[in-house]
Amino acid sequence: MNVKPKQSTTDNKKAVRPRLIFAKKIDSKAKRKLEAQKHSGTSAWFGLGMMGLIGWSIALPTILGAALGIWLDKHYKIQQSWTLALIVAGLTLGCFTAWNWLSKEDKAMSEINEEDNKKDNKEVNKEKKTIKNNRDKQ
């Protein structure tokens, strides 16, 4: 008959500790994900809306520049084309506006991710300290 030697309770605790840290990390990420789903409207439609917003932020100044250029060409005849110049100016303005808006959004998202990572790291470090204190007590 094979009799397996009993493992000591310290061996069992050592095996459980990494699982506990991993489980807490998963729990915190799941909570964060649920919280993000509650507070943000990030869905496929939201993403399409953002693409539309960026598109219009570029298209609208370009169209307005073209319209103003056509009007100026009709009323103030000069050798250069107002239309071409104002299309380029509108396009430049629209691209700058879209780039500025996207950089602000990216910065806000990276700050949120950074805060979440810090929070996760604090929880893991706290759990590691608890484990180390328990190990030192034994």
SS3 readout for 94-122 = HHHHHHHHHHHHHHHHHHHHHHHHHHHHH
pLDDT at residue 88 in the model:
97
Task: Look up residue 37 and give its two tokens.
Answer: 């789903």
Domain boundaries, the chain: 39-137
Distance CA 135, CA 138 (A): 5
pLDDT at residue 53 in the model:
87
Q: What is the DSSP string of 70-85?
A: HHHHHHS--SS-HHHH
Q: What are phi and psi of 6, to 5 degrees?
A: -70, 135
pLDDT at residue 93 in the model:
96
pLDDT at residue 18 in the model:
65
pLDDT in tens, the chain (138 residues): 455 555 555 555 555 566 667 777 777 777 777 776 665 555 677 777 778 888 999 999 999 999 999 999 999 888 889 999 999 999 999 999 999 988 888 888 788 777 777 776 777 677 777 777 777 776
Of 111, 100, 112, the C-alpha closest to 54 is: 100
Residues 6+ apart with CB under 8 A from 76: 82
pTM (two decimals): 0.55
Which residue's entry shows tokens 């993403």?
47
Q: What are phi and psi of 121, to 5 degrees?
A: -65, -40
Distance CA 91, CA 105 (A): 21
